[in-house]
Protein backbone atom coordinates (compact mmCIF):
# COMPACT_ATOMS: atom_id res chain seq x y z
CA UNK A 1 0.00 0.00 0.00
CA UNK A 2 1.43 3.38 -1.00
CA UNK A 3 1.93 6.04 1.66
CA UNK A 4 -0.21 9.19 1.46
CA UNK A 5 1.48 11.96 -0.48
CA UNK A 6 3.35 14.37 1.74
CA UNK A 7 2.60 18.00 1.02
CA UNK A 8 4.10 21.28 2.17
CA UNK A 9 2.21 23.90 4.21
CA UNK A 10 1.25 25.59 0.93
CA UNK A 11 -0.34 22.38 -0.37
CA UNK A 12 2.40 21.52 -2.87
CA UNK A 13 3.80 18.00 -3.19
CA UNK A 14 6.87 17.60 -1.02
CA UNK A 15 10.16 17.52 -2.94
CA UNK A 16 11.72 15.64 -0.01
CA UNK A 17 9.07 12.92 -0.18
CA UNK A 18 9.60 12.64 -3.94
CA UNK A 19 13.30 12.03 -3.23
CA UNK A 20 12.38 9.09 -1.02
CA UNK A 21 11.96 10.52 2.51
CA UNK A 22 8.46 10.94 3.96
CA UNK A 23 8.66 12.85 7.24
CA UNK A 24 4.93 12.46 7.92
CA UNK A 25 5.18 8.66 7.85
CA UNK A 26 8.07 8.71 10.30
CA UNK A 27 6.41 11.11 12.76
CA UNK A 28 3.18 9.13 12.64
CA UNK A 29 5.01 5.91 13.50
CA UNK A 30 6.95 7.58 16.30
CA UNK A 31 3.67 8.73 17.86
CA UNK A 32 2.32 5.18 17.79
CA UNK A 33 5.30 3.72 19.68
CA UNK A 34 5.40 6.37 22.44
CA UNK A 35 2.95 4.42 24.56
CA UNK A 36 4.97 1.24 24.02
CA UNK A 37 8.18 2.98 25.08
CA UNK A 38 6.52 4.47 28.17
CA UNK A 39 6.05 0.95 29.57
CA UNK A 40 9.83 0.70 30.06
CA UNK A 41 9.98 3.77 32.33
CA UNK A 42 12.00 3.24 35.51
CA UNK A 43 12.36 5.47 38.62
CA UNK A 44 15.51 7.09 37.21
CA UNK A 45 13.80 8.47 34.09
CA UNK A 46 13.04 12.18 34.04
CA UNK A 47 10.41 13.18 31.46
CA UNK A 48 9.63 11.09 28.40
CA UNK A 49 10.83 10.55 24.84
CA UNK A 50 10.57 13.27 22.25
CA UNK A 51 13.06 15.82 23.53
CA UNK A 52 16.49 16.33 22.00
CA UNK A 53 18.08 14.32 24.79
CA UNK A 54 16.90 11.77 27.34
CA UNK A 55 17.19 12.59 31.02
CA UNK A 56 18.16 10.13 33.74
CA UNK A 57 19.07 10.64 37.39
CA UNK A 58 22.73 10.26 38.34
CA UNK A 59 23.33 6.98 40.19
CA UNK A 60 25.31 8.74 42.93
CA UNK A 61 28.67 8.95 44.65
CA UNK A 62 31.22 6.11 44.35
CA UNK A 63 29.21 4.59 41.50
CA UNK A 64 30.78 4.11 38.08
CA UNK A 65 28.92 4.44 34.80
CA UNK A 66 29.56 1.65 32.30
CA UNK A 67 28.56 2.15 28.64
CA UNK A 68 28.67 0.06 25.48
CA UNK A 69 27.50 0.27 21.87
CA UNK A 70 26.90 -2.55 19.40
CA UNK A 71 24.80 -3.63 16.43
CA UNK A 72 22.81 -6.69 15.38
CA UNK A 73 24.88 -7.19 12.22
CA UNK A 74 23.82 -9.36 9.29
CA UNK A 75 21.36 -11.31 11.43
CA UNK A 76 19.09 -8.51 10.19
CA UNK A 77 19.22 -10.05 6.72
CA UNK A 78 17.67 -13.23 8.11
CA UNK A 79 14.98 -11.15 9.86
CA UNK A 80 14.20 -9.49 6.51
CA UNK A 81 14.01 -12.88 4.77
CA UNK A 82 11.65 -14.16 7.47
CA UNK A 83 9.65 -10.90 7.61
CA UNK A 84 10.01 -11.16 11.40
CA UNK A 85 11.39 -8.13 13.18
CA UNK A 86 10.39 -8.38 16.86
CA UNK A 87 13.29 -10.60 17.96
CA UNK A 88 16.16 -8.42 16.70
CA UNK A 89 15.18 -5.67 19.13
CA UNK A 90 15.57 -8.17 21.96
CA UNK A 91 18.91 -9.28 20.49
CA UNK A 92 20.56 -5.89 20.62
CA UNK A 93 19.29 -5.02 24.10
CA UNK A 94 20.38 -8.35 25.60
CA UNK A 95 23.72 -8.23 23.76
CA UNK A 96 24.51 -4.83 25.27
CA UNK A 97 23.29 -5.91 28.74
CA UNK A 98 25.75 -8.82 28.67
CA UNK A 99 28.59 -6.58 27.53
CA UNK A 100 28.38 -4.32 30.59
CA UNK A 101 27.45 -7.20 32.90
CA UNK A 102 30.99 -8.53 32.40
CA UNK A 103 32.15 -5.69 34.69
CA UNK A 104 29.36 -6.30 37.20
CA UNK A 105 27.18 -3.45 35.96
CA UNK A 106 23.39 -3.32 36.10
CA UNK A 107 21.67 -1.58 33.17
CA UNK A 108 20.09 1.86 33.64
CA UNK A 109 18.90 2.87 30.18
CA UNK A 110 19.13 2.04 26.50
CA UNK A 111 19.08 4.09 23.29
CA UNK A 112 18.61 2.77 19.76
CA UNK A 113 19.42 3.74 16.19
CA UNK A 114 17.42 2.48 13.21
CA UNK A 115 18.68 3.43 9.74
CA UNK A 116 16.80 2.47 6.60
CA UNK A 117 16.32 3.39 2.96
CA UNK A 118 12.56 3.82 3.29
CA UNK A 119 10.69 4.06 6.55
CA UNK A 120 8.24 1.21 7.16
CA UNK A 121 5.90 1.91 10.09
CA UNK A 122 4.81 -1.68 10.86
CA UNK A 123 8.39 -2.99 10.72
CA UNK A 124 9.54 -0.14 12.97
CA UNK A 125 6.81 -0.96 15.49
CA UNK A 126 7.89 -4.62 15.54
CA UNK A 127 11.51 -3.62 16.19
CA UNK A 128 10.51 -1.28 19.02
CA UNK A 129 8.24 -3.92 20.56
CA UNK A 130 11.30 -6.18 20.84
CA UNK A 131 13.40 -3.39 22.30
CA UNK A 132 10.72 -2.66 24.90
CA UNK A 133 10.23 -6.32 25.80
CA UNK A 134 13.92 -6.81 26.52
CA UNK A 135 14.27 -3.48 28.33
CA UNK A 136 11.45 -4.43 30.70
CA UNK A 137 12.89 -7.91 31.26
CA UNK A 138 16.24 -6.34 32.18
CA UNK A 139 14.70 -3.65 34.39
CA UNK A 140 15.86 -0.64 32.38
CA UNK A 141 14.35 2.21 30.43
CA UNK A 142 14.29 2.75 26.68
CA UNK A 143 15.28 6.39 26.98
CA UNK A 144 15.22 7.43 23.33
CA UNK A 145 16.83 6.88 19.97
CA UNK A 146 17.20 7.95 16.36
CA UNK A 147 15.39 6.82 13.24
CA UNK A 148 17.08 7.82 9.98
CA UNK A 149 15.66 7.44 6.48
CA UNK A 150 18.49 7.50 3.95
CA UNK A 151 17.60 6.24 0.46
CA UNK A 152 20.68 5.26 -1.50
CA UNK A 153 22.73 4.42 1.58
CA UNK A 154 20.81 1.33 2.73
CA UNK A 155 19.48 -1.40 0.40
CA UNK A 156 15.74 -1.23 -0.28
CA UNK A 157 13.79 -3.34 2.23
CA UNK A 158 16.65 -3.53 4.74
CA UNK A 159 17.67 -1.57 7.81
CA UNK A 160 20.42 -1.31 10.41
CA UNK A 161 19.83 -1.59 14.15
CA UNK A 162 22.36 -0.34 16.68
CA UNK A 163 22.05 0.19 20.41
CA UNK A 164 23.82 2.02 23.21
CA UNK A 165 23.50 1.03 26.86
CA UNK A 166 24.47 2.82 30.06
CA UNK A 167 24.64 0.97 33.35
CA UNK A 168 26.30 1.37 36.72
CA UNK A 169 28.32 -0.51 39.28
CA UNK A 170 29.60 0.46 42.70
CA UNK A 171 33.31 1.19 42.44
CA UNK A 172 34.11 -1.41 45.12
CA UNK A 173 32.16 -4.10 43.21
CA UNK A 174 33.70 -3.59 39.77
CA UNK A 175 34.76 -6.90 38.20
CA UNK A 176 37.97 -6.63 36.18
CA UNK A 177 39.52 -10.12 36.07
CA UNK A 178 42.56 -9.00 38.09
CA UNK A 179 41.77 -11.50 40.86
CA UNK A 180 41.76 -14.53 38.50
CA UNK A 181 44.26 -17.15 39.67
CA UNK A 182 45.53 -20.50 38.44
CA UNK A 183 43.19 -23.22 39.66
CA UNK A 184 40.01 -21.15 39.24
CA UNK A 185 37.09 -22.89 37.55
CA UNK A 186 35.67 -21.74 34.21
CA UNK A 187 31.89 -22.08 33.91
CA UNK A 188 29.63 -21.37 30.96
CA UNK A 189 26.00 -20.43 30.40
CA UNK A 190 24.54 -22.14 27.31
CA UNK A 191 23.40 -19.88 24.47
CA UNK A 192 20.20 -20.18 22.43
CA UNK A 193 22.19 -20.30 19.20
CA UNK A 194 24.39 -17.93 17.24
CA UNK A 195 23.41 -14.92 19.40
CA UNK A 196 24.44 -11.99 17.15
CA UNK A 197 27.73 -13.16 15.65
CA UNK A 198 28.95 -15.17 12.68
CA UNK A 199 25.93 -14.59 10.46
CA UNK A 200 27.91 -13.77 7.33
CA UNK A 201 29.43 -17.26 7.42
CA UNK A 202 26.20 -18.93 8.57
CA UNK A 203 24.19 -17.33 5.75
CA UNK A 204 26.80 -18.39 3.19
CA UNK A 205 26.63 -22.02 4.35
CA UNK A 206 22.85 -22.27 4.66
CA UNK A 207 21.67 -20.15 1.76
CA UNK A 208 24.54 -20.13 -0.76
CA UNK A 209 26.32 -23.47 -0.36
CA UNK A 210 23.38 -25.64 0.76
CA UNK A 211 20.69 -23.68 -1.12
CA UNK A 212 18.27 -23.93 1.82
CA UNK A 213 15.48 -21.43 2.50
CA UNK A 214 14.59 -20.02 5.94
CA UNK A 215 11.48 -22.22 5.96
CA UNK A 216 13.36 -25.47 5.33
CA UNK A 217 13.85 -27.74 8.33
CA UNK A 218 17.30 -27.69 9.90
CA UNK A 219 18.50 -31.31 9.47
CA UNK A 220 18.57 -33.16 12.78
CA UNK A 221 16.05 -30.86 14.47
CA UNK A 222 12.37 -29.95 14.43
CA UNK A 223 13.27 -26.29 13.83
CA UNK A 224 13.30 -24.38 10.58
CA UNK A 225 16.57 -22.83 9.46
CA UNK A 226 15.08 -19.37 9.97
CA UNK A 227 13.90 -20.01 13.54
CA UNK A 228 17.25 -21.54 14.47
CA UNK A 229 19.13 -18.52 13.11
CA UNK A 230 16.74 -15.99 14.68
CA UNK A 231 16.87 -17.57 18.16
CA UNK A 232 17.00 -14.65 20.60
CA UNK A 233 20.32 -13.62 22.10
CA UNK A 234 19.79 -14.29 25.83
CA UNK A 235 20.45 -11.88 28.66
CA UNK A 236 22.48 -13.40 31.50
CA UNK A 237 21.78 -10.55 33.94
CA UNK A 238 19.44 -12.46 36.26
CA UNK A 239 21.60 -15.57 36.73
CA UNK A 240 24.74 -13.49 37.32
CA UNK A 241 22.96 -11.33 39.89
CA UNK A 242 21.66 -14.49 41.58
CA UNK A 243 25.24 -15.76 41.89
CA UNK A 244 26.32 -12.47 43.45
CA UNK A 245 23.31 -12.56 45.80
CA UNK A 246 24.30 -16.09 46.93
CA UNK A 247 27.81 -14.89 47.76
CA UNK A 248 29.66 -16.55 44.87
CA UNK A 249 32.94 -14.71 44.22
CA UNK A 250 33.13 -13.91 40.53
CA UNK A 251 36.73 -13.22 39.53
CA UNK A 252 36.03 -12.49 35.87
CA UNK A 253 33.46 -12.87 33.09
CA UNK A 254 33.42 -12.83 29.30
CA UNK A 255 30.59 -12.39 26.83
CA UNK A 256 31.27 -14.73 23.92
CA UNK A 257 30.67 -12.49 20.91
CA UNK A 258 32.67 -11.85 17.72
CA UNK A 259 36.08 -13.48 18.16
CA UNK A 260 34.62 -16.40 20.09
CA UNK A 261 36.65 -17.97 22.87
CA UNK A 262 40.22 -17.01 21.87
CA UNK A 263 39.53 -13.29 21.49
CA UNK A 264 37.00 -12.64 24.26
CA UNK A 265 38.22 -14.60 27.29
CA UNK A 266 41.75 -13.07 27.17
CA UNK A 267 40.16 -9.62 27.56
CA UNK A 268 39.73 -10.41 31.27
CA UNK A 269 42.71 -12.73 31.88
CA UNK A 270 45.82 -11.57 33.75
CA UNK A 271 48.98 -12.11 31.67
CA UNK A 272 50.26 -14.83 34.02
CA UNK A 273 47.46 -17.34 33.35
CA UNK A 274 45.71 -19.16 30.49
CA UNK A 275 42.12 -20.33 30.15
CA UNK A 276 42.12 -24.06 29.43
CA UNK A 277 38.82 -24.99 27.77
CA UNK A 278 37.68 -28.61 27.62
CA UNK A 279 35.67 -28.77 24.41
CA UNK A 280 34.38 -32.23 25.34
CA UNK A 281 32.50 -30.81 28.34
CA UNK A 282 29.48 -29.80 26.24
CA UNK A 283 27.94 -30.68 22.89
CA UNK A 284 27.69 -27.78 20.41
CA UNK A 285 24.07 -27.39 19.19
CA UNK A 286 23.15 -28.86 15.79
CA UNK A 287 23.20 -25.46 14.06
CA UNK A 288 26.97 -25.18 14.70
CA UNK A 289 27.64 -28.79 13.77
CA UNK A 290 25.83 -28.23 10.46
CA UNK A 291 27.84 -25.10 9.64
CA UNK A 292 31.15 -26.82 10.49
CA UNK A 293 30.37 -29.93 8.44
CA UNK A 294 28.62 -28.44 5.41
CA UNK A 295 30.84 -25.36 5.24
CA UNK A 296 34.05 -27.41 5.70
CA UNK A 297 35.07 -24.95 8.43
CA UNK A 298 38.17 -25.69 10.50
CA UNK A 299 37.24 -26.58 14.08
CA UNK A 300 39.44 -23.92 15.68
CA UNK A 301 37.96 -21.30 13.37
CA UNK A 302 34.47 -22.35 14.48
CA UNK A 303 35.46 -21.55 18.06
CA UNK A 304 36.72 -18.15 16.99
CA UNK A 305 33.74 -17.15 14.84
CA UNK A 306 30.91 -18.62 16.94
CA UNK A 307 30.02 -19.14 20.59
CA UNK A 308 29.54 -22.88 19.89
CA UNK A 309 26.71 -23.11 22.43
CA UNK A 310 28.34 -21.25 25.33
CA UNK A 311 27.11 -17.66 25.36
CA UNK A 312 28.75 -16.36 28.50
CA UNK A 313 31.74 -17.43 30.61
CA UNK A 314 32.35 -17.01 34.33
CA UNK A 315 35.60 -17.58 36.22
CA UNK A 316 35.24 -18.33 39.92
CA UNK A 317 37.33 -19.91 42.69
CA UNK A 318 37.11 -23.72 42.65
CA UNK A 319 35.65 -23.72 46.18
CA UNK A 320 32.60 -21.75 44.95
CA UNK A 321 31.62 -24.12 42.13
CA UNK A 322 29.23 -26.22 44.21
CA UNK A 323 27.48 -23.11 45.54
CA UNK A 324 27.26 -21.63 42.04
CA UNK A 325 25.68 -24.78 40.60
CA UNK A 326 23.16 -24.93 43.47
CA UNK A 327 22.22 -21.29 42.93
CA UNK A 328 21.64 -21.89 39.23
CA UNK A 329 19.63 -25.06 39.90
CA UNK A 330 17.32 -22.99 42.13
CA UNK A 331 16.33 -20.82 39.14
CA UNK A 332 16.58 -23.61 36.54
CA UNK A 333 19.48 -21.94 34.75
CA UNK A 334 21.79 -24.45 33.02
CA UNK A 335 25.46 -23.99 33.79
CA UNK A 336 28.41 -26.10 32.58
CA UNK A 337 31.92 -26.44 33.99
CA UNK A 338 33.98 -26.02 30.82
CA UNK A 339 37.55 -25.55 31.96
CA UNK A 340 40.16 -24.39 34.42
CA UNK A 341 42.65 -21.54 34.73
CA UNK A 342 46.31 -22.59 34.39
CA UNK A 343 49.61 -20.74 34.62
CA UNK A 344 50.35 -19.22 31.22
CA UNK A 345 50.56 -16.03 29.18
CA UNK A 346 47.00 -14.71 28.98
CA UNK A 347 45.70 -16.99 26.21
CA UNK A 348 43.01 -19.59 25.57
CA UNK A 349 44.08 -23.18 24.93
CA UNK A 350 41.92 -26.20 24.28
CA UNK A 351 41.73 -29.71 25.66
CA UNK A 352 40.04 -32.05 23.12
Q: Mind listing the pLDDT tens digit for each residue in 216-272? A: 999 999 999 999 999 999 999 999 999 999 999 999 999 999 999 999 999 999 999
The pLDDT score that the predictor gives to residue 51 is 67
Give the per-residue pLDDT at 53.
82
Residues of the chain with CATH 3.90.650.10: 185-351
- The architecture in CATH of the region 21-173 reads 2-Layer Sandwich (3.30)
pLDDT of residue 47: 76
pLDDT at 2: 46
DSSP 150: -
User: pTM of the prediction?
Assistant: 0.90
Residues in the chain predicted with pLDDT less than 70, given as ranges, are 1-23, 25-30, 49-51
pLDDT at 5: 53
DSSP 77: H
Strand ordering across the sheet containing 185-190: 252-255, 310-316, 185-190, 336-343, 273-278, 348-351
> What pLDDT is stored for residue 312 in this prediction?
98
Residue ranges of the chain that CATH labels 3.30.1330.10:
21-173
What architecture (CATH level 2) is domain 185-351?
Alpha-Beta Complex (3.90)
> In the prediction, which pLDDT does 21 show?
61
Bridge-based pairing state of the strands 141-149 and 63-71 = unpaired
Residue 209 C-alpha from the chain's centroid: 27
Task: Read off φ and ψ for residue 288, nearest 5 degrees.
Answer: -75, -40
CA 157 from centroid of its chain's CA atoms: 23
**Dihedral class, residue 128 (left if φ above 0, else alpha if ψ from -120 to 50, else beta):** alpha
- Read off the pLDDT of residues 13-26 as tens digits, 9 standing for 90 and up: 665 566 566 667 66
Amino acid sequence: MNSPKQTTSSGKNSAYAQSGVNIDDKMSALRTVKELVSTTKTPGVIGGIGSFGGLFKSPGKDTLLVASTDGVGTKLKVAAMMKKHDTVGQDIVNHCVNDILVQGARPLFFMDYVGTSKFDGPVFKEIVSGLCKACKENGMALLGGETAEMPGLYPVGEYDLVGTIVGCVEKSKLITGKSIRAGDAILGFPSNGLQTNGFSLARRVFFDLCMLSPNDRLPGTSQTVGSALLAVHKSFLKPVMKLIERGVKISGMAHITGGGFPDNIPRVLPKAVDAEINRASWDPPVVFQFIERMGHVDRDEMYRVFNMGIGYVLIIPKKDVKRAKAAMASIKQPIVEIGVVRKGTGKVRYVN
